Amino acid sequence: MGDGGERLWNVPQHEGLFRTLVENALIGVYVFQDRIIYCNKTFERILGREARDIYNSDIFSFIHPEDRTMVARRAAYRLEGKLAPEPYTVRILTPEGDIRWVMLLAQRVTVGGRPALLGHIMDITELKDAQLQVESARALLEELFQGSPEAIALLDKEGRVERVNEAFERTFGWSADEAAGAFLWELLEPDQKAKEGARDQEMILSGHLVRLETKSRKKDGSLLDVEFTGFPVRVGGEIRGAYAIYRDITEKKKAIVALERAERRYRELVEQVPAGVYEIDVETARFLTVNEYMCRLFGYTREEFLSMTGFDLWTDEGKEILRQRIEAVLRGRPIPQVVEYPGKTKDGKDLIVRIHSRFGEDDSGRPIARVVMVDVTEQRRLEEQFLQAQKMEAIGRLAGGVAHDINNALMSVMGYADLILMNLGEAHPLAEAAKEIKEGARRAASVTSQLLAFSRKQLIMPKVIDLNDLMESMAKILRRILGEDIKLEVRFSRRPVWVKVDPNQMEQVIMNLAVNARDAMPQGGRLFLRTDLVELDEASISRMRLELDPGSYGRFTIEDTGLGMDRETMKHIFEPFFTTKELGRGTGLGLSTVYGIVKQAKGDIFVRSEPGKGTT
């Protein structure tokens, strides 16, 4: 336009055409000369005001207060011809007080012989908002890029580094300037993995997502454990580059290794400790974990245990103890942390165990018990054996003392009976009475002799003999004593069984045991006698509960097919005067005498018996 604008306004034949063009323009058009002297419909719509309001108002009142001075100055400069036409953005106010962004472009023209501004205005509010959003997003992305704790590198489509963030510089020691333009795999990949790094980068730039754990090299040559994630950057569907993100997991790896090492030590401790360790669900009593000792102690595999409950291990007495403890725990009542259970192994062996319990919850809040178990079977056996030995020792002392006193008195009775017989003669009427007195004293002396044998205070004459020879001579006597209903079978050792014993006492031992076996087989049966040599070690001595030192021993075994005994009876069979026979059929001194003789000969006795299954 310029001066030509003045001519356009004065060409009548084109006035209608140009007015139509201006009025229907998609941008606002106005003419400013001290005030707005013309504006089109688009200008009205942008300002939200009608033309008459615009013509009669100060145009600068529509401008945002912060922009008015700048707009007025630029308008004045243009009117004076000091400022070339150029677009700029400014804020305007709508009648509702809303702020909208517009772009102004004005140039100096002449109207009516006076300078004026022909301006164009475009509403760019939506564009400005979008621009602000883009700038905000870009600023946010930049903050995320620089503020990320992970090391990030932006690569171009050739795979060279364009930018790195601060975490990358801190992590790997390369500055942004040093990293720029380099291939990432050349910077970070250890020499032996450089080809793998180049291949991974090629995969990313071809559109693949790559995730892996690897080692990356720092500037100083040291290696870091990292989690690497690489993915392509697409713009309009075209791959323009890639992001490479590294998370330093060196300390995490160390922590994992330390945790695994600690867990391994804990597992080894739990598996190697000489005690049972297990966890059990309190509500169901089901085993959750067990250690190897539990498997060895009870004979079940770990898989079998995990399908079992605590009730499967205990006797009826133990099951009742467990039931009461579970009920108390679930009701919140206090219970002893230490308790003993009688139980059975998979093969039926009896056990007594002591458990130490701590109660807690699993991850889901279910009550569980963590238990340490100690096998006290041997301890209980030794305690019982010790108490039994003390009892037998006390009884022995009492029996020995009483036997000595009674024996002394009987010697006097027998001596005076002999004097009476000597003085009266055989024909005297009282001679028979004197003989009965002497016989009664002799029988009483026999009882005291057995008591002395039990108390191990009897005078003995030990010598080395072959037990086979003694057995052979005794077998003939035993066949007559046992009778026709009991079959005697004797099995001798192939080698001599040399033992140092009093032969007379050993004969008494065999006789007493055979008579006892005969009485246990009232309907007849079989009696087995065997001799052999045996080597006893600590394990066998403990298993048979013997009071012996490890070494070589001669063994005499007697086995019957009689009535057998229960455990309670077996606890008392060696006690003096204990008998299961009816009144008048036994003194209860036979086995106590056997016990005393064997102990005095530095031996011991092992008994095995069950009701209805005979005795060995």
Sign, CA dihedral 266-270-272-275, equals positive
Long-range CB pairs of 75-83, under 8 A, 24+ apart, other chains included: 75/32, 75/106, 75/117, 78/106, 78/107, 78/108, 78/117, 79/108, 79/115, 79/116, 79/117, 80/115, 81/108, 81/115
pLDDT at 119: 87
Q: What is the pLDDT of residues 314-348, one digit of tens each?
A: 888 888 888 888 888 888 888 888 888 888 888 88
pLDDT in the model for residue 141: 77
Of the candidate ranges 147-161, 368-382, 427-441, the one whose mean pLDDT is the lowest: 427-441
Q: Which two tokens stand for residue 174?
A: 């390369």
Q: What is the pLDDT of residue 393?
A: 59
CA quadruple 46, 51, 52, 54: dihedral positive or negative? positive
Q: Which of 438-447, 453-462, 566-575, 576-585 has the highest mean pLDDT?
A: 566-575
Q: In degrees to the nearest 10, what's the CA dihedral of 281, 287, 293, 297?
A: 120
Residue 473 to residue 467: CA distance in whole angstroms = 10
Q: Which residues contact 40 (CB under 8 A, 6 or more apart)?
A: 22, 23, 24, 25, 28, 29, 30
Pairing of strands 223-235, 210-217: antiparallel
From residue 104, give the alpha-carbon distance in Å to each of 32, 56, 66, 119.
Answer: 13, 21, 16, 7
Average pLDDT for 95-112: 87
Chain centre distance of CA 524: 60
Q: Is the pTM of this model over 0.85?
A: no
Residue spans of beta strands (DSSP E) within 158-275: 161-164, 210-217, 223-235, 238-248
Quick one: DSSP state of residue 23?
H
DSSP string, 108-138: EEEETTEEEEEEEEEE-HHHHHHHHHHHHHH
Q: Name the residue among 394, 350, 408, 398 with its Cα closest to residue 375.
A: 350
Crossing angle of the two packed helices 377-424 and 431-454, in degrees rounded to 10: 160
Q: Is the pLDDT of residue 156 over 60?
A: yes
455 Cβ contact list (under 8 Å, min separation 6): 396, 397, 399, 400, 403, 596
- Of 116 and 193, the structure prediction assigns the larger pLDDT to 116
Mean pLDDT, to the nearest integer, of 564-577? Answer: 78
Give the model's confidence band at 450: pLDDT under 50 very low, under 70 low, under 90 confident, else very high.
low
CA–CA dist 447, 76 (Å, integer): 149
The answer, yes or no, to whether residue 578 has pLDDT greater than 80, is no
571 three-class SS: coil
d(CA 410, CA 95): 144
Among 128-132, 149-153, 242-246, 414-418, name the one with the lowest average pLDDT: 414-418
Q: Tell me whether residue 224 is exposed, middle or buried, using C-beta atoms within 10 angstroms of its C-beta: 0 to 12, 13 to 18, 19 or more.
A: buried
Q: What is the pLDDT of residues 210-254, one digit of tens each?
A: 888 888 888 888 888 888 888 888 887 788 888 888 888 888 888
Q: For 160, which DSSP code?
A: B
Interaxial angle between packed helices 590-600 and 431-454, expressed in degrees from 0 to 180 and rounded to the nearest 10: 50
Query: Distance (Å, rounded) from C-alpha 172 to C-alpha 187?
Result: 9
Higher pLDDT pick, 411 / 428: 428
What spatial distance separates the first Cα and last Cα of the chain, rounded to whole Å?
136
Confidence band, pLDDT 50/70/90 cuts, at residue 483: confident
Residue 458 has pLDDT above 60, yes or no: no
pLDDT at 391: 58
Contacts of 585 (CB under 8 A, 6+ apart): 519, 579
Average pLDDT over residues 130-142: 82
Output the CA torsion 482→484→486→491 (10° steps). 80
Q: In the chain, pLDDT over 90 holds for what percent of residues?
A: 1
Helix (H, G, I), strand (E, B), or coil: what is residue 290? strand
The pLDDT value recorded for residue 407 is 64
CB 27 within 8 A of CB 45: no
Q: How far apart are CA 547 and CA 553, in angstroms?
A: 13
At 1, the pLDDT band (50, 70, 90 cuts) reads very low
What integer is the mean pLDDT of 565-584? 72
CA 165/CA 172 separation, integer angstroms: 11
Going from the N-terminus, what domains does the chain have, and what CATH number goes with each? 3-129 (3.30.450.20), 148-253 (3.30.450.20), 273-372 (3.30.450.20), 381-454 (1.10.287.130), 463-600 (3.30.565.10)
Tell me how far apart the alpha carbons of residues 187 and 224 are, in angstroms, rounded to a whole number. 13
Residue 437 tokens read as: 């007195």
Statement: residue 98 has pLDDT above 70: yes
Q: At what angle do helices 590-600 and 503-519 cross, to 10 degrees?
A: 150
The rounded mean pLDDT for the chain is 80
Q: How confident is the model at residue 479 (pLDDT cuts 50, 70, 90)?
A: confident
Q: Give 560's strand partners.
A: 527, 615
- 428 phi and psi angles, rounded to 5 deg: -70, 145
In this model, does residue 4 exceed pLDDT 50?
Answer: no
Q: What's the pLDDT at 9?
A: 44
Structure tokens at 26: 């998609």
Which 8-state DSSP code applies to residue 329? H
pLDDT at 589 over 70: no
CB 58 within 8 A of CB 36: no
Contact 162, 184 (CB under 8 A): no
* Residue 592 reports pLDDT greater than 60: yes
Residue 436: half-sphere exposure toward Cβ, Cα within 13 Å: 5
Which of 109-123, 151-165, 254-268, 284-298 bottoms out in mean pLDDT, i.e. has the lowest? 254-268
DSSP state of 236: T
CB atoms within 10 A of CB 369: 20
Q: What is the DSSP letter of 148?
A: -
Query: Cα 42 from chain centroid?
Result: 78
DSSP letter (8 states) at residue 485: T
Identity at 451, one-letter amino acid code: L
Sheet with 99-111: strands ordered across: 35-39, 28-33, 114-123, 99-111, 88-93
